[in-house]
Amino acid sequence: MSLAAATIPAPSIEYSQLAPMLIVFGAAVVGVLVEAFAPRHLRRPAHLVLSLGGLATAFVLTCVIAGSASIFANGSPGHNAAMGAVAVDRPTLFIQGTILVLAFVSVLLIADSAQDVSPFAGQAAAAPGSPEEREGLLAGLVHTEIYPLTLFAVGGMLLFPASNDLLTMFVALEVLSLPLYLLCGLARRRRLLSHEAAVKYFLLGAFSSAFFLFGIAMLYGYSGSVSLAAIASTVSSNTGSTTLLFAGIALTGLGLLFKIGAVPFQSWKPDVYQGAPTPVTALMASCTVVSAFGALLRVFYVAFGNLTWDWRPAMWAVAILTMVIGAIIAITQTDVKRLLAYSSIAHAGFILTAVIAASAAGLSSSLFYLAAYGFTTVGAFAVITLVRDPGGEADHLSRWAGLGKRSPLVAGIFAFFLLAFAGIPLTSGFTGKFAVFQAAVAGGATPLVIVGVLASAIAAFFYVRVIVLMFFSDPVPDGPEVVVPSLFTGTAVGLGAVATLVLGIVPGPVLDLANHAATQLFVR
Amino acid sequence: MTMTTLAATGALRYSWLLLAFPVFGAAVLLAGGRRTDRWGHLLGVAMPLAAFVYGLVAFFTLLGYPAAERGRELHMYSWIPVGSFQVNIGLLLDPLSISFVLLITGVGSLIHIYSVGYMATDAERRKFFGYLNLFIAAMLLLVLADNYLALYAGWEGVGLASYLLIGFWSFKPSAAVAAKKAFIVNRVGDAGLSVAVMLMFAEFGTVSFGGVFHSARSGGSGVATALGLLLLLGACGKSAQVPLQSWLLDAMEGPTPVSALIHAATMVTAGVYLLVRSNPILALSSTAQLAVTVVGAVTLLWGAIIGCAKDDIKKSLAGSTMSQIGYMTLGAGLGPAGYVFAIAHLLAHGFFKAGLFLGAGSVMHAMDDEVNMRRYGGLARYMPVTFVTFGLGYLAIIGFPPLSGFFTKDGIIAAAWDKGGTSGALLATCAIIGAGLTAFYMTRMMLMTFFGKPRWQEAGPRGGAEPRTGQPQPEPHMAGGSGGSSPRASTAALHPHESPGVMIWPMILLAVGSIGAGAFLITGQRFQSFLSPVVGVPPVSHGVFTTAGYITLALMAAGIVIAWAMYGRVPVPATAPRGSLITNAARRDLYGDAFNEAVLMRPGQWLTRLSVYFDGRGIDGLVNTTAAAIGGTSGRTRRVQTGFVRSYALLMFAGAGLLVAALLVVRL
Amino acid sequence: MRLYVPILVLAVLAAGFAIFSVTFGALAGPKRWNKAKLESYECGIEPTPAPLGGGKVPIKYYLTAMLFIVFDIEIVFLYPWAVTFNKLGAFALVEMVAFVVAVLIAYAYVWRRGGLDWD
């Protein structure tokens, strides 16, 4: 081999186009420095400034990039930055913007320490119930690492849907997952449950990553490249082993479907959503899902866009299973966070119906649905943090009985979120469902939509059941206390509610934005 | 003569402000909570006033356009513009809607001002203003909508506001029950309207006024008749027309400003607005038109008879409202001949009836919330301003020339007279008899309240005047002074007094409207030429005096004389006499509730039981089986969720195998 | 098929080495048993008797292992860069410095938070 003799062209990197991700990662790295050198009492404020400021700056930069003429000059769909590793195009920017806003709201929840102290364990390493733990509590130890961890995760989420080759995508997947595994185990209350969630998430996540990597290897074997565009061109030139190709599609698809929680790769979701600290659950249920859908859309639209007829039947099956199983199992849930986890599975199925359409309409409706669903989810989990027992959040549904009588405003807002999940008109949920089903019908997937509507009907049943429980049951004696939200949580709930309402009544501008983002699909 | 609808330009581009003002007020007052208690009522008054000022600007802007270009549409936004599905929501400003806007915001503002005084000692005054603003917003949406869907949204909104305000003193069981009753009876009407909207969407694929009217012309008379009857059902509910009239009398449980604004001047006239707005549909179906006129004629007599027998001043006025709206409905059924007069009567009625209700409120304010007229008497001396303004309202409603009612009501009677044929004769007869009855019960009310000997000292302890319920018992903590609730002092200690200025001035302004509105609108055909682009031109035009008018005047005089003979010449007993069969029937709302109970409730209960039986066996059996099956499936499926990470991994592994197999099999 | 020949050769060589060293060690080595020699090797932890609940392994081991991996990987990146340093020029230098700084920040964190103290 003549490696030494060959000249290696120095790669070029478009820093300005990658600025949002760089800012978030940079803020995370600075956050680590804060952890290392700042005195303890200054850490939380410093992290707050860094995280919120970093996310806000990144969002502004995303908007600036989306508005910049040079990238989209002459009708170009976008640009492949960093030697083709990272795509900068409109759908990606829409997704990244959504993630940044939702992450901002999630960080507000994470930062809320007005109730007792913080939703996070003071000292994660101390065994639950041990003397060390008590010592740590008395000493007032607080983990402020959650902020840099969150930022690392968000950075990974930004990169995940933007990755234009599979290796970058894998790295992004790991960057977003590893901090989340840790964050899941940091709950202050019910720590064993939280630890269990973290370990399960880690094991299964590693398992799925292995499949993903295996799939990448097969696709590399098929096309000799990990770049999505190169795989697509190999597909069109019809060379290479189709066995490798289809096994590769299945296994990379598995890795992505795992992250969105599609059946049969959903098992981690309820356990993890229940065990994780609620603000982290909010982050996972909104940002991670948005990011994973972004990556799924990119891989299936760009690399496998010419193979829709081949992967559609399998995806149909997955979508149907996801919608139906998510909705059905949710019925017998008694824990509100598990309930929302199953609801999130069902919603993943609804979005899949639009993904399967493999059209601009499918893309735009998915984008809209993701944004709408993300806001409602963050708001709903924010409400959950407010309903408390002496031992922490009152997650068991029986504790929510009669909440509407005790605290009509909080129960009313939660009921509103549930109605949005159920897809009742004048909420964002209706608009989103309408859009994805419309796209699915236009894509010829009418049976899928029929299943979707039936699953929505089943799902509506358990949402309404919670509402009935809250408003028409007698309050339980010594029921949970509804704490007055702090500024942070209040803002999160308010933003969620306003977005849910506005996207239900005046969805036009955001729909236009999503349509505009989707007209040219992804850059290749 | 048709009118083209153009895009709103200039000042009209800001017509969304009309909605924004009251919405803002309601949002601040209801979300702001106790923090806004101190200045809440001021904001509550400012918002409708601001809307009124903008309404005037819009009105004069419209006047500045040529008559054919006075329909101006402001596109607000498209709801869910996905694919071919599109619902455009916009505001329509035209002569018809701007008339309503001015009525709603003008009279509304006056009543808001009046409420500042009336509710002064109520602990919940801020909330009251929040609801009132909410009502104004919903009512404006109702009349400004350029399509039936948005109109329906406003329609439900005013229903909600009405429900909240009737039950405002919900610590009184009677108020809570009345609110519920109003809500439920209105559901029947609302169902009619909602089915109509669905029918339009199914038949014509649009719900916008222009689109529906255009398509209806080619849609055949069957659809038009169905639509007309469904819209009439909706109108009956909202406007308290027979057979959905029964809620209005009970709705008087609400605070008197509410009765004046919602249950006299504006909301109850929404049905008439709906019918007049839908005139192109009614024009296509003579059946529907006939049904409208019959409902109007029956109701105008029905309400008048109830008004004759009630001793409760507000209920008597409520009967009168029902009757006057009956006139408007009658006018709305007469086609282009009646539309102008129906709307003119509606506007004039808005003035004089609101004035009468405010006067009644003022009397109640003075009489410690006593509503039984048999315990009034001789009040003219104690409250001269109320007496004069109430008196002017009285003259206006009985149609005394040249006050408002004379012009507008006689227009409707003349239009019915002109219709000709048996139906025309019958309708005109009903309308003329109704005018006589109106004169009778209104004179009776005047005499019992303001003339004769004061009866409030001689009476014993209060209560029992109404055969319906006992006196409401207020909660101890709700020591609302003028809150229509508290018999706090014994009647012997009563000192009737004139109301404060903030209550007087709105009454005076409304009295001015009662005097002049009719003449202003009708003489010189001002209103007719203004409104004709929307509703068409009457085929025959009259002078002020017609044959029907003379007969009406004669009957009016007879009514006054009879009333004087019964209540002015002889002293009024402080307790109600046994009364004749008809009187007793009228006292019990002409058995409206009994009718509802016998014809609707009992069979309804039987039907419910029957359907519950079949439901349990058949439909529910199916539904329950499905639910049980799903629940069982759920219970079984969730066992997959073992909690063991090893079985999750196994599941994933199996899934991976299946996925790979599925993709490879497809390829084969 | 010729592609796989080197792999086969490597496999044979590896197997041969393993078999040779174990067999030769067993034949040639002196046999003086003691308790420690008979135990299976577990990085200094006594494998038997198995403590209740799996026992506790000091978390320090894991910390050390993780730190080792961090610097190990750093070297993996540094080595190829060093080989081609002249060809890649300033761009790669800047990127590499950024990379080393990032690792150093992690190092600083570990150091400041006591990750390097054994006790």
Chains A and C touch (3+ CB pairs under 8 A): yes
Helix (H) or strand (E) holding B73, with range, is: strand B71-79
Give the mean model confidence (pLDDT) for residues A311-320. Answer: 92
Mean pLDDT (chain B, rounded)? 82
CATH topology of domain C2-112: Methane Monooxygenase Hydroxylase; Chain G, domain 1 (1.20.58)
Our CA-based measurement puts residue A349 at a distance from the nearest CA of chain B, in whole angstroms, of 16
Segment A336-355, tens digit of pLDDT: 999 999 999 999 999 999 99
Question: Can you give the pLDDT at residue A217?
Answer: 95
- Residue B88's DSSP bridge partners are B78
Question: Do residues B152 and B164 lie in contact, with contact meaning Cβ atoms separated by under 8 Å?
Answer: no
List CB contacts (< 8 A) between A251 and chain B: 656, 659-660
Instruction: Tell me phi and psi for residue C103, to 5 degrees.
Output: -65, -40
Number of residues that make up chain B: 668
Residue B29 exposed, middle or buried by CB count within 10 Å (0-12, 13-18, 19+):
buried
Mean pLDDT taken over chain A: 89
Cα pseudo-dihedral C108, C113, C115, C119, rounded to 10: 140
- d(CA C64, CA C70) in angstroms, rounded, equals 10
A40 Cβ partners below 8 Å, 6+ apart? Answer: none
Q: Do A33 and C84 touch (CB under 8 A)?
A: no
**Could you identify the residue written with the tokens 């007005």?**
A114
Count CB pairs under 8 A between chains A and C. 31
Q: Note whether A310 contacts B666, CB cutoff 8 Å.
A: yes
Q: Give the pLDDT score at B252.
A: 85
CB pairs under 8 A between A and B: 117
| Cα–Cα distance for residue pair A38/B1, rounded to 1 Å | 80
Mutate to test the interface with B, among A214, A238, A328 (most CBs of B within 10 A): A328
Helical axes B221-239 vs B148-166, angle rounded to 10° = 20
CB-closest option in A314, A329, A461 to B659: A314
The answer to whether the CB of A254 falls within 8 A of the CB of A168 is: no
Are the Cβ atoms of A10 and C105 closer than 8 angstroms?
Answer: no
Confidence of residue B471 (pLDDT cuts 50, 70, 90): very low
Residue B473: pLDDT band by 50, 70, 90 thresholds? Answer: very low
C-alpha closest to that of A35 among A47, A51, A22: A47
Side-chain half-sphere of B261: how many Cα atoms within 13 Å?
33
Task: Give the sign of the dihedral formed by CA C13, CA C19, CA C24, CA C30.
Answer: positive
* Residue A89 bridge partners (DSSP): A78
- Its pTM stands at 0.72
- Beta carbons of C59 and A125 less than 8 Å apart: yes
CB contact under 8 A, A203 and B663: no
The token pair at C18 is 């393993």
Q: How far is A268 from chain B (nearest CA, A)?
A: 7
User: Is the predicted pLDDT of residue B384 greater than 70, yes or no?
Assistant: yes
The structure tokens listed for B653 are 């592994």
Nearest to B413 by CA among B523, B514, B545, B525: B545
- Interval A147-195: pLDDT, tens: 999 999 999 999 999 999 999 999 999 999 999 999 999 888 888 899 9
Per-residue pLDDT tens digits for A466-509? 998 888 888 888 878 888 888 889 999 999 999 999 998 888 88
Q: Is B33 on the interface with A (CB under 8 A)?
A: no
| Residue pointed to by tokens 């989306």 | A66
Q: Is B668 on the interface with A (CB under 8 A)?
A: no
Nearest-Cα distance to chain A for C110, in Å, is 8
User: What is the amino acid identity at position B407?
Assistant: F
Q: Chain B: nearest CA to A448, how far in angstroms?
A: 18
pLDDT at A379 over 90: yes
Of residues A206 and A114, more confidence is placed in A206
Q: Position A78: which residue type? A: G
Question: Residue B618 pLDDT > 70, yes or no?
Answer: no
**Alpha-carbon span A152 to A141, nearest angstrom:** 22
Higher pLDDT, residue C64 or C14: C14
Residues belonging to chain A with any Cβ–Cβ distance to chain C shorter than 8 Å = 4, 7-8, 10-12, 29, 32-33, 35-37, 125
Q: What are the φ and ψ backbone dihedral angles of A238, each rounded to 5 degrees?
A: 60, 40
What pLDDT does A281 receive? 95
Interface of B with A in 59-78 (CB under 8 A): 77-78
Q: What is the pLDDT at residue B104?
A: 92
pLDDT tens digit string along A243-288?
A: 899 999 999 999 999 999 998 899 999 999 999 999 999 999 999 9
Distance (Å, whole) CA A395 – CA A388: 8
Chains that touch A (3 or more CB pairs under 8 A): B, C
What interface predicted TM-score (ipTM) does this complex get? 0.88
Task: Supply φ then ψ for residue B35, to 5 degrees.
Answer: -60, -30
| pLDDT value for A153 | 96
CA distances from A231 to A164, A358, A521, B120, B219 (A): 11, 17, 17, 77, 57
Strands A86-89 and B87-93: unpaired
Residue of A nearest to B659 (CA): A250
Pick from B636, B659, B668 the residue to mutate for testing the A interface (most A CBs within 10 Å): B659
CB under 8 A, 24+ apart: contacts of B32-36: B34/B126, B36/B126
Q: Indicate yes or no: CB of C112 within 8 angstroms of CB of A37.
A: yes
> A36–C92: do the CB atoms touch at under 8 Å?
no
* Per-residue pLDDT, C54: 64
Q: Is the dihedral of CA C110, C112, C113, C116 positive or negative?
A: positive
Rg (CA), chain A: 22
Q: What is the pLDDT of residue A399?
A: 87
Separation between Cα atoms, residue B65 and residue A145, nearest integer Å: 68
> How close does chain C come to A8, measured CA to CA in Å?
6
pLDDT tens figures, B319-342: 899 999 999 999 998 888 888 889
Look at residue C77 in the predicted model and tell me its pLDDT. 84
The residues spanned by each domain of chain C are 2-112
Is chain B touching chain C, with at least 3 CB–CB pairs below 8 Å?
no
Confidence check: pLDDT of B18 > 70: yes
Cα nearest neighbour of B652 on chain A = A265
> Given an 8 Å threshold on Cβ–Cβ distance, is C88 in contact with A8?
yes
pLDDT at A97: 96
Q: What is the pLDDT of residue B491?
A: 46
Contact call for B655 and A265, based on CB within 8 A: yes
Which of A13, A32, A143 is most worth mutating to test chain C (most C CB atoms within 10 A of its CB)? A32
Residue numbers in A near B655 (CB within 8 A): 254, 263-265
Identity of the residue in A203, A246, A511 whose CB atom sits nearest the CB atom of B667:
A246
Q: Which pLDDT score, from 0 to 100, does residue B624 have?
A: 67
Contact A508 B78 (CB under 8 A): yes
Q: Which residues make Cβ contacts (< 8 Å) with residue B425, sequence separation at least 6?
A: none
A-chain CB neighbours of C91 within 8 Å are: 10-12
Residues of A in contact with B631 (CB under 8 A): 331-332
Among residues B44, B20, B21, the alpha carbon closest in space to that of B32 is found at B44
Does the distance separating the beta carbons of A29 and C102 come in below 8 Å? yes
Question: pLDDT: is B95 or C73 the higher one?
Answer: B95
Three-state SS string over A390-442 comes to CCEECCEHHHHCCHHHHCHHHHHHHHHHHHHHHCCCCCHHHHHHHHHHHHHHH
| CB within 8 Å: A251 and B631 | no
Count Cβ atoms below 10 Å from residue A266 Cβ, excluding itself.
Answer: 30
B220 touches chain A (CB under 8 A): no
Query: Is the pLDDT score of B138 beyond 90?
Result: yes
Which tokens hold the place of C25? 């060690």
Each residue's pLDDT tens digit, A448-461: 999 999 999 888 88
Element (H, E) at A293: helix A289-298
What pLDDT does B478 receive? 38
Q: Give which of B381, B377, B371, B271 is closest to B317, Cα–Cα.
A: B371
Residues of A in contact with B649 (CB under 8 A): 203-204, 207
Task: Kindly list the partner chains of chain B, i.e. chains with 3 or more CB atom pairs below 8 Å.
Answer: A
- Residue of A207, A212, A257, A267 to mutate, testing the B interface (most B Cβ within 10 Å of its Cβ): A267
> Is C68 an 8 Å CB contact of chain A?
no
B81 is written with which tokens? 């513009």
